[in-house]
Amino acid sequence: MSSAASINTPSFDIEAIRKDFPILAETMPGGKKLTFLDSAASAQKPQAVIDAMANVYGHEYANIHRGVYYLSQIATDHFEAARRKVQGFLGAAHDREIIFTRNATEAINLVAASWGRANLKEGDQVILSEMEHHANIVPWQLLREQTGIELVVAPIDDDGALIWEEFENCFTDRTKLVAMTHVSNALGTVTPIADIIRTAHDHGTLVLVDGSQAVPHIDVDVVALDADFYVFTGHKLYGPSGIGVLYGKEALLEAMPPYQGGGEMIATVTFEKTTYAELPHKFEAGTPNIVGAIGLGAAIDYLATIDRAAADAHEQALLAYTNEQLAGLNSVRIYGTAPQKVGLVSFAIDGAHPHDVGTILDHEGIAVRAGHHCAQPVMDRFGVPATTRASFGLHSDYDDVDTLVSGIKLVQEIFG
């Protein structure tokens, strides 16, 4: 079976969705059609997002929260409307709990620098998992250098799933925070985040969730989850790069000192004393990524037009199909076989280095990620320097997978 037609349903029209992404019509050098299988690195943008951003720049742009004139007012309105869209998207109780950042990395650094330095002292412990992205490792290591905290790593099993008993054993009376991914970017594993949060709270411990890879695939409700902090990055959610989100519970954010100082985040400034702006502006020093936030809002609007349950069913069917096809090829090994996964397959081909695999697939118009995926501890865990990773977006279809499989056969032919 290799046709996309078989998965069309009234509620989820893959052909229509593909047409929403103009880049899919591009031809790659050598005349190959683009097979884009790197959405986990950064998603392609639907026309609706591109149009919304062009429209602001073309017709509605000015700096926000400053001018008293018309354009500044509507730009401000659109920017704040984007914040409310994010609030709705995450199910947050208040829009002031939504802080715009540059990306997920900055959101985590914000929490580590502001909440971490104010609340953690030498000997306090932060639990991470073995499958964190470097963005959820290095900020805590920097904090460790500054405060003497300890990092405790919860291990994963051979399938790439969190080992629950070991996770529970990580807690001590010095545990202050669990900083954990919702979905692993290297393995695709979905972590049992609701259980993780409940368990952490039972131990009186706060939880920061790295939702960068989760929000494109899974409906999130931060209130139902009772997450203390939840971060994600806009460019993986079909929005532009340069915009990210920190959700934090209001009481936590209120108590935290500012992260950066400057304009936008102040109430009054004299050389003797400065008072800070209210949430969320306290954490948004300087002119923000105005159009980026509006683009992210447009991406959230776009996602709302898609039946996510049907999209999820399609993605899981495509994942199962990919696993089946790769299993049919000799000497292809999949890393990350946890029962709960998003549409992402990390693999290795015997005798071919991922970098060579990437070059050969590129030659066939196939865009995949080859490397350590900014998760070197995961690579070490599985004893490989790197893997090749194919990851799906909303627009991924059976043809994409079939093209990938032919590409892998070509690799095997060359390196056979």
Ligand X SMILES: Cc1ncc(COP(=O)(O)O)c(C=O)c1O
Q: In the complex, which residues of this chain contact ligand X (CB under 6 A)?
A: 103-105, 133, 135-136, 181, 185, 210, 212-213, 233, 235, 244, 374
Q: Which span (148-156, 278-286, 358-366, 398-406) binds other proteins, by CB under 8 A?
A: 358-366
Indicate which of ligand X, other proteins, none lies near residue 354 (CB less than 5 to 8 Å, by partner kind).
other proteins
Q: What share of the chain is helix, strand, coil (3-state, %, to 5)?
A: 45, 20, 35
Is the CA virtual torsion 371, 375, 376, 379 positive or negative? negative
Say whether residue 414 binds other proteins (CB under 8 A): yes
Say whether residue 385 binds other proteins (CB under 8 A): yes
Indicate which of other proteins, ligand X, none lies near residue 360 (CB less than 5 to 8 Å, by partner kind).
other proteins
Which distant-in-sequence residues (6+ apart) come within 8 Å of 11 by Cβ?
Answer: 307, 309, 310
Q: Which span (39-47, 183-191, 248-256, 352-360) binds other proteins, by CB under 8 A?
A: 352-360
Tokens 């990773």 identify what position? 389
Say whether residue 360 binds other proteins (CB under 8 A): yes
Instruction: Report the residue number, 280 or 407, with the smaller CB distance to other proteins.
Output: 407
Largest CA distance in the chain: 72
Distance CA 107, CA 120 (A): 18
State the catalytic residue, choosing from 374, 379, 390, 411: 374
Instruction: Report the residue number, 285 or 378, with the smaller CB distance to ligand X.
Output: 378
Report helix, strand or coil for 356: helix
Tokens of 413: 């032919």
Instruction: Report the residue number, 175 or 233, with the smaller CB distance to ligand X.
Output: 233
Say whether residue 354 binds other proteins (CB under 8 A): yes
Q: Yes or no: say if 286 and 264 are a contact pair by the CB < 8 Å rule.
A: yes
Per DSSP, helices labelled H in 47-129 are: 47-55, 70-90, 104-110, 117-119
Indicate which of other proteins, ligand X, none lies near residue 233 (CB less than 5 to 8 Å, by partner kind).
ligand X
Tokens of 204: 């009186």
Find the helix or strand (DSSP H, E) in which 295 lies: helix 290-304
Q: Is 25 exposed, middle or buried (0-12, 13-18, 19+ CB in 10 A)?
A: exposed
Q: Least Å distance between CB 342 and ligand X?
A: 11
Say whether residue 249 binds other proteins (CB under 8 A): no
Instruction: Report the residue number, 170 or 344, with the smaller CB distance to ligand X.
Output: 344
Site for other proteins in 28-57 (CB under 8 A): 30
* 170 tagged catalytic: no
Residues classed as catalytic: 374
Give the interface with other proteins as residue ranges (CB under 8 A): 30, 351-356, 359-360, 363, 370-372, 379, 385-386, 410, 414-415
